[in-house]
Structures are given as structure tokens and as C-alpha cells.
Structure 1
Amino acid sequence: MADDPEKERFLKEFGQDYGYPNAPKNVDEIRATEFKRLNDVVYLDHAGATLYSESQMEDVFNDLNSTLYGNPHSQSNCSLTTSDIVGEARRQILSFFNASPGEYKCIFTSGATAALKLVGETFPWSSQSTFMYTMENHNSVLGIREYPSYGIVSNIEGSVLLNLFFRYALKEGAAATAVDIEDVADLDGRRGGKSAIKIIPHTVQRRGEVGCRKKEQTS
């Protein structure tokens, strides 16, 4: 790739910003040493499923191969070792977000969808709440406004009807606002001494409780 003319032109224009130029290793070195399995592959889903590096896996293997981790719900020494490392992971995450452990809890879920579902279903929504989210967002963020629940009903003729009821996470009267966020530099062509953004709200159409029925074929 070093003699690729297209890449050479790209680096000539963007090389000062591209590929972690001030880091110990640039992106090409990282790819060559940590992600050799990506040879001849273009991988574009790091936001949804980022890849682990070879050194990460080596560190994890060495740790698991040299440390005994037990069930964290027990009180043995190996169990306490597990509890300690999980607790330290929570503390590091809270510290990264500058969140006080006295006010916030770090909860591990199976993924972004499960985490957002947990927020939508358990947050104490009220008429004083406002759910604000960006227009371009994770599909499950949009789903916090509403999420479906299903019920099976039989009519007097024995046909099975599938009821799809839309339950609203904001059904307690909370407001919902979709916004676009723009950098002030994009608005006036210059950047001031302070970083600032402009939030552009968009009206979100609110719907009442609705249901739809789909009649299935009778057996």
C-alpha cells in the first residue's frame, strides 16, 4: 500500500490529521501488528462491533491463565478476586465519564440495545421529563419513545388475531424532542475562543395509544 498512488495523494492532503500521526504507532503500523487478520479486508462496523487487537487477547489470555477467577457471588478468595476486578472496571468507567460513584452506578448489559431498553422501561418518566435525542441516532434510542408489546387474542369464530399494542415509554406526559447539533464554526465560518454548539429542535409527532390487528390464516 506504500506505493499506492491514490493513498499517496490522500496522505499528501490529509496526512497531518489521518491515522494518529502523533501516537507511538500510526494506523498502518497498528493494522500490520495488531490486526493482521484484516489483510485484504475493509471492515466498517467498528461502531457496532469493534475488533479486539492481538495484544489485548494476549494480555487477557495471560491473565486468565495465571489468575483464578471464581463466582463473584461467593465469598472465597478467588471469588473476591473476581469481585475486585469487576468493581475496578466499574470505577474506571465512571472515572472516564467524570461521574461520581456516589451519584451514578455502572451497569453492564449485553449491548447497546439492552442498555437502551433498560433506560426506556425503568426511567421514572413524568410530565416534567423531556427525552431529547439527536436526529441521527441508534435505532434503539428512537425506540425509547415507544416499544411494542404483543397479545394473542381469539375471536368467537376461533380465528387467531395478533394484537400489536404500542406502549409509550413517554406515555406519562413527557416531552420528546429530536435535535440537530451543529458546531458554531459550521454556522459562521469561524471558531471563537470557546467551543460551542447550536441545538436545532425538531417537532416530534405524538400519537395516542394505537393498536393494529393482523388476522392470521386459520389452520
Structure 2
Amino acid sequence: MADEDGSAYNGRIEALREKEYPMLKDDNIYLDHAGTTLYAKSLVDEFAVDMTTNLYGNPHSASSSSQSSTARIDDVRVQVLQLLNADPTEFDVVFVANATAGIKLVAEALRSAPGGFSFMYHQACHTSLVGVRQESRASSCVDTDTVQNLVDGAPLPE
């Protein structure tokens, strides 16, 4: 089904916007996706139903509500591994509060590696990644061309 101008795209986008993002009224525009993306109404609705029909407890306890949380977390871990085509016998999923917490966790683990670790980061990376260089025995800042060369199989730069 095409819009009056012959394009079906705008009509579908407007319908999606009206259904999933009713908070964007009066032609409001949201541009802060770097901080957080907007939540879809269907996501909030499903979450509200889940939270008001199930009882979740501390996943580190033994009560039935805690076991419900543990089962939900384990199911999500499996789904993430499947999405990434990752073998659960070789990989695990660790949930953290945010990217900075994840970076800190990895840096702390690498800190104890015998002989330390070398670290390479992109010139346009988040500042929390730049901080990891202080933990490394050697670090270098690389540009996009270098990253592409490495992805294409080039040896690490000296």
C-alpha cells in the first residue's frame, strides 16, 4: 500500500511511531540515542504484564521467586549465545550495569594475566576504553584504516 506520493515507507513509519512511540507527540523529535534509545510501548506493556503476573526474587537465593529469576536469567543467557552462534561450552554471557562496568570487569581480569596484556583502542572510542591503557603493559591508539586492515588479516602494527 503506497502513500499519496507513491511511497509506502512514510506511512508505515508513521503508523509504527504512533503505535510504539506515543510519547512523540506534536512532531517531537528525540535525538539523544547516544544516552539511551526510546523504549517502545509494546516493550513497556509486556514488561508491566510480566512484572505484575510473576514474582521475581534475588537470583542468588533459594526461594521459588528467586529460582524464577535464575531461570529467566539463564534463559536469556542461552538466547544471547544462540543469537551470536556461540557455543555455551566455550562462551558465557555476563550481565553488567553498562558498557563502562563491562570494560572495567574485563580490564580487571586482564590485569592478572601473567606478563600483563597489550591494549589497542580506536581513536574515536569511549573514554572508559582509553582508561584501560593505564592497566596495560603496552597500548596503542589506531584509526579506522588500521582496524580494517586487521579485520582483513594484516599483522598487528609494531
TM-score w.r.t. length of structure 1: 0.56
CA RMSD, 1 decimal: 3.5
Q: Report the secondary structure of 1:46's partner residue.
A: coil
Q: Does 1:89 align with 2:76?
A: yes
For 1:179-218, list aligned pairs within 5 A: 179-181=143-145
Contact conserved, 2:121 with 2:141, CA < 8 A, in 1? yes
More strand by share: 1
Q: Are 1:60 and 2:61 counterparts?
A: no
Matches within 5 A, 1:25-174: 26-39=12-25, 40-123=27-110, 124-125=112-113, 129-145=117-133, 168-170=134-136, 173-174=137-138
Could you say if the C-alpha distance between residues 85 and 181 of structure 1 is closer, same or farther in structure 2, counting changes exceeding 3 Å?
farther
Task: Kindly report structure 1 stretches of 4+ aligned residues shifted beyond 6 Å.
Answer: none
> C-alpha displacement at 1:89, in angstroms?
1.2
Distance 1:101 1:109 in 2: 19
Distance change in 2, residues 1:179/1:70 (3 Å) = same
- Pick which of 93-102 and 121-130 moved more: 121-130
How far is 1:202 from its partner? 8.3
Unmatched runs of 5 consecutive residues or more in structure 1: 146-167, 185-195, 204-219
Instruction: State the 1:126 CA deviation.
Output: 5.8
**Contact persistence 2:21–2:41 (CA under 8 A):** yes
How many residues in Structure 1 have an aligned counterpart in Structure 2? 150
- How much does 1:116 deviate? 1.2
Percent identity between matched residues is 32
The higher-RCO structure (CA 8 Å, 6+ apart) is: 1
Q: Deviations over 1:90-117 (max 9, x none)?
A: 1222222222222222111111111112
Question: Deviation per CA, 1:178-203, whole angstroms, max 9, x where unpaired?
Answer: 23148x9xxxxxxxxxxx8598x889
User: 2:125 and 2:113 mapped to 1: Cα distance?
Assistant: 21
**TM-score computed with the length of structure 2 as normaliser:** 0.74
Which runs of no fewer than 5 residues in structure 2 stay unpaired?
none
Name the CA distance, whole Å, in 2 between partners of 1:79 and 1:128.
39
* Higher helix content, 1 or 2: 2
| Larger CA Rg, structure 1 vs 2 | 1
